[in-house]
């Protein structure tokens, strides 16, 4: 994919992070996020995806290298309000929802931004509506389902209107219905709200469906990057990263093997797979 | 068990420990006339009740007050049997104190014996002391449960936010949700222990070690979780304080009247109580 410097929102330049216990979180990590794109950081557990995401919001600062958000370096300049530009949705919603009610929790970010209570409430209501959770406004977070908690967590970040939203394992532990809702929401954040979305996941099926660009992360650095069909059809690359191809890819390769045809298409969604099958069937008849 | 989106814990830690989930369930779902009373009214009455039980030792007044709060509790369609089970802790607390104080009170002897030459006499006044202290404790416990179980948590937290100074309000607002999560964590650890045959009494030593292990695990996990919660708060710009958005419904005219009459009654009791110059 073409790297357009003018569209660049985040630039991670050879950043490394070593935790106090000496373990390496990221190592010589080079990564970028452009305006209005969905980037998936894919890698096995412990590969450094979450550590990188925490750097994007300023929760962690690199021990070496540089990170720039909107052209401002977070390591050399006073950039303490990074949380206004990059919203983080954590893997465990129970860690994120701490306030007595859903409304209080979603208003938390806008209030920290200095909004008046009325403006913060309006922003919170708007965000809850955007994620389809406006009916949960008076509920206690303790009584929400896992999927509802995840939607409210996203609303809590969306209410701050950041330029970029980073989600750590956004669909882990969710039922298929809520998983689908979160998936649509990520696409909505890009298409309706014009945001850039970064997702850290080891669910390659999810990444195949929503991402514009894939970065394979291994041992704390980006090992390979490219558009989904390019990355997901490179079995050797995936194997070296410790991942398996998405199910659609596996299915297509098995389909081609069964029919004895060359796998010259690269479908990565159900729709694309159906199109390939349809064209093959039409060609045979 | 699910009801209108609320989860009532299938098994609390013990039948004799107030179940936070159950209390919240009733507070959020029960709709009776008591739920519509302003939380400020209920809070004012709680203060007056505490004042009254502090001032009086009159067993008739205390019995009448206990009957009134118990009727209010039952009238709010709250579980009376569960409340009686929850009485275990306050009753043990009162008996452990009054059980010592009651012996050798001046009065007519009811039971008397001696151990190693030391005489022990339980008099009618001693028994009355136990009854009075029990009534006082149960009145406050019953009314507190009534207050908690008929007041929505968002109103309760908003009251705390308005009444207490920082950081007490902040600690309370965060502690409540944290308490739920910690209880859920303890519940799941206990389930895991029971599922492998643990928790059965083999010996006091083993049981003690098991509880120490569970306590240590809960402490470590809670510490770990609090770090993650703090991190998530920092990620949204937390700078040291946060508030709650809910508005607490104000008092209606009839409620002002109720509080006024109650205050006058407490004042009257104060005036007729000898200690206060009556």
pLDDT tens-digit readout, B36-60: 999 999 999 999 999 999 999 999 9
Tokens at residue B273, please? 């109580």
| Same domain as A268, residue A253 | yes
**Cross-chain residue pair B5–A139, CB shorter than 8 Å:** yes
Number of domains in chain A: 2
Look at residue B207 in the predicted model and tell me its pLDDT.
75
| Same domain as B78, residue B139 | yes
Please report the beta strands in A8-146, taking only residues with DSSP state E, as ranges in sequence order.
8-18, 24-34, 38-42, 64-69, 72-73, 86-89
In the beta sheet, which residues pair with residue B275? none
Tokens at residue B252, please? 């209606």
Look at residue A284 in the predicted model and tell me its pLDDT.
61
Higher pLDDT, B277 or A31: A31
Whether B141 maps to a domain, the answer reads yes
- Across the range A43-60, mean pLDDT stands at 92
- Across the range A120-143, mean pLDDT stands at 93
pTM for the model stands at 0.82
Look at residue A191 in the predicted model and tell me its pLDDT.
95
Identity of the residue in B177, B181, B236 whose CB atom sits nearest the CB atom of A100: B177
| Same domain as B80, residue B35 | yes
Whether A21 maps to a domain, the answer reads yes
A266 touches chain B (CB under 8 A): no
Look at residue A131 in the predicted model and tell me its pLDDT.
94
Look at residue A283 in the predicted model and tell me its pLDDT.
66
Percentages of chain A per state (helix, strand, coil), in multiples of 5: 45, 20, 35
Whether A50 maps to a domain, the answer reads yes
- Across the range A34-40, mean pLDDT stands at 96
Tokens at residue A47, please? 């590969």
- With a cut of 90, say whether residue B243 has pLDDT above it: no
| Same domain as B140, residue B219 | no
Whether A276 maps to a domain, the answer reads yes
- With a cut of 70, say whether residue A78 has pLDDT above it: no
Whether A272 maps to a domain, the answer reads yes
Whether B35 maps to a domain, the answer reads yes
Look at residue B213 in the predicted model and tell me its pLDDT.
85
- Across the range B145-171, mean pLDDT stands at 90
First-to-last alpha carbon distance for chain A, in angstroms, is 37
Domain range for residue A70? 1-85+164-170+198-244
Look at residue B218 in the predicted model and tell me its pLDDT.
87
Element (H, E) at B278: none
| Same domain as B158, residue B58 | yes
pLDDT tens track for A190-219: 999 999 999 999 999 999 999 999 999 999
Identity of the residue in B176, B181, B234 whose CB atom sits nearest the CB atom of A100: B176
Cα separation values, B195 from B177, B184, B190, B219, Å: 27, 16, 8, 22
| Same domain as B34, residue B23 | yes
A94 touches chain B (CB under 8 A): yes
Judge contact between A141 and B7, C-beta under 8 A: no
Whether B120 maps to a domain, the answer reads no
| Same domain as B56, residue B139 | yes
Look at residue B277 in the predicted model and tell me its pLDDT.
44
Whether the ipTM is more than 0.95: the answer is: no
Task: Sort out which chain B residues have CB atoms less than 8 A from A92's CB and list them.
Answer: 228
Whether B160 maps to a domain, the answer reads yes
Whether A80 maps to a domain, the answer reads yes
Look at residue B278 in the predicted model and tell me its pLDDT.
41
**Cross-chain residue pair B225–A95, CB shorter than 8 Å:** yes
- With a cut of 60, say whether residue B245 has pLDDT above it: yes
Whether B149 maps to a domain, the answer reads yes
Number of domains in chain B: 2
Taking one residue from A and the other from B, the number of pairs with CB-CB distance under 8 angstroms is: 104
A109 touches chain B (CB under 8 A): yes
Whether B69 maps to a domain, the answer reads yes
State the Cα angle at B176 between A152 and A87, rounded to 5°.
Answer: 30
| Same domain as B223, residue B172 | yes
User: Which residue of chain A has the CA closest to B231?
Assistant: A59
User: How does residue A153 score in pLDDT terms, banded at 50, 70 and 90?
Assistant: very high
**Comparing C-alpha atoms, which of A30, A35, A24 is closest to residue A11?**
A30
Identity of the residue in B173, B180, B244 whose CB atom sits nearest the CB atom of A142: B180
Give how far B27 is from chain A: nearest CA, Å: 11
**Cross-chain residue pair A108–B177, CB shorter than 8 Å:** no
Tokens at residue A164, please? 């970029």
Residues 6+ apart with CB under 8 A from A153: A89, A90, A93, A96, A97
Judge contact between A188 and A169, C-beta under 8 A: no
Look at residue B61 in the predicted model and tell me its pLDDT.
94
| Same domain as B77, residue B42 | yes
User: Which residue of chain B has the CA closest to A97?
Assistant: B229
**Cross-chain residue pair A83–B228, CB shorter than 8 Å:** no
Whether B177 maps to a domain, the answer reads yes
Whether B23 maps to a domain, the answer reads yes
Please report the beta strands in chain B, taking only residues with DSSP state E, as ranges in sequence order.
2-3, 6-7, 109-115, 118-123
User: How does residue B201 score in pLDDT terms, banded at 50, 70 and 90?
Assistant: low
| Same domain as B201, residue B148 | no
Look at residue B2 in the predicted model and tell me its pLDDT.
46
Best of B179, B237, B239 to disrupt the A interface by mutation (most A CBs within 10 Å)?
Answer: B237
User: How does residue A74 score in pLDDT terms, banded at 50, 70 and 90?
Assistant: confident
Look at residue B100 in the predicted model and tell me its pLDDT.
84
**Cross-chain residue pair B24–A140, CB shorter than 8 Å:** yes
Tokens at residue A61, please? 């600062």
Domain range for residue B16? 2-87+128-165+250-276
Look at residue B151 in the predicted model and tell me its pLDDT.
94
| Same domain as B161, residue B68 | yes
Identity of the residue in B24, B229, B237 whose CB atom sits nearest the CB atom of A98: B229
């Amino acid at each position: 994919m073409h790297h357009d410097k003018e569209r660049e929102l985040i630039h991670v330049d050879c950043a490394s992070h070593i935790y106090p216990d000496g373990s390496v979180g990221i190592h010589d990590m080079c990564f970028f996020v452009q305006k209005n794109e969905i980037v998936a950081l894919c890698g096995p557990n412990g590969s450094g995806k979450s550590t990188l995401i925490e750097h994007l919001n300023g929760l962690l600062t690199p021990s070496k290298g540089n990170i720039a958000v909107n052209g401002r370096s977070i390591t050399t300049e006073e950039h303490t309000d990074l949380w206004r530009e990059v919203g983080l949705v954590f893997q465990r919603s129970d860690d994120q929802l701490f306030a007595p009610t859903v409304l209080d929790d979603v208003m938390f970010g806008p209030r920290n931004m200095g909004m008046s209570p009325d403006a913060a409430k309006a922003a919170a209501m708007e965000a809850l509506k955007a994620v389809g959770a406006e009916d949960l406004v008076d509920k206690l977070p303790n009584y929400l389902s896992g999927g509802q908690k995840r939607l409210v967590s996203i609303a809590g970040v969306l209410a701050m209107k950041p330029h970029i939203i980073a989600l750590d394992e956004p669909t882990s532990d969710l039922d298929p219905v809520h998983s689908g809702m979160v998936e649509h929401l990520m696409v909505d954040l890009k298409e309706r709200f014009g945001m850039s979305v970064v997702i850290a996941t080891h669910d390659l099926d999810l990444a195949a469906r929503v991402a514009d660009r894939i970065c394979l992360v291994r041992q704390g650095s980006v090992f390979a990057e490219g558009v989904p069909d390019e990355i997901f059809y490179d079995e050797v690359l995936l194997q070296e990263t410790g991942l398996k191809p998405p199910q659609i890819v596996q299915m297509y390769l098995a389909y081609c093997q069964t029919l004895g045809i060359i796998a010259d298409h690269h479908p990565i969604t159900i729709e694309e797979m159906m199109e390939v099958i349809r064209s093959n069937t039409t060609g045979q008849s | 068990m699910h009801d209108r989106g609320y989860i009532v814990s299938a098994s609390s830690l013990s039948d004799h420990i107030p179940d936070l989930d159950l209390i919240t369930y009733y507070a959020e779902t029960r709709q009776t006339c008591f739920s519509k009373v302003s939380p400020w009214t209920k809070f004012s009455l709680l203060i007056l009740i505490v004042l009254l039980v502090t001032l009086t030792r009159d067993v008739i007044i205390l019995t009448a007050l206990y009957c009134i709060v118990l009727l209010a509790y039952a009238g709010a369609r709250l579980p009376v049997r569960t409340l009686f089970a929850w009485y275990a802790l306050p009753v043990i607390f009162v008996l452990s104190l009054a059980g010592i104080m009651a012996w050798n009170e001046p009065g007519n002897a009811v039971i008397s014996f001696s151990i190693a030459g030391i005489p022990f006499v339980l008099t009618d006044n001693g028994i009355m002391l136990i009854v009075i202290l029990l009534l006082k404790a149960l009145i406050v416990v019953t009314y507190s449960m009534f207050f908690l179980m008929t007041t929505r948590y968002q109103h309760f937290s908003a009251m705390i936010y308005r009444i207490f100074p920082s950081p007490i309000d902040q600690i309370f607002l965060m502690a409540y949700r944290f308490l739920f999560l910690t209880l859920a964590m303890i519940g799941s650890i206990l389930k895991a222990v029971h599922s492998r045959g643990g928790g059965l009494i083999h010996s006091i030593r083993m049981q003690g070690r098991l509880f120490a292990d569970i306590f240590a695990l809960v402490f470590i996990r809670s510490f770990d979780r609090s770090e993650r919660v703090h991190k998530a708060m920092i990620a949204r710009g937390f700078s040291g304080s946060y508030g709650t958005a809910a508005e607490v419904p104000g008092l209606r005219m009839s409620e002002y009247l109720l509080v006024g009459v109650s205050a006058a009654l407490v004042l009257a009791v104060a005036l007729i109580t000898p200690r206060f110059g009556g």
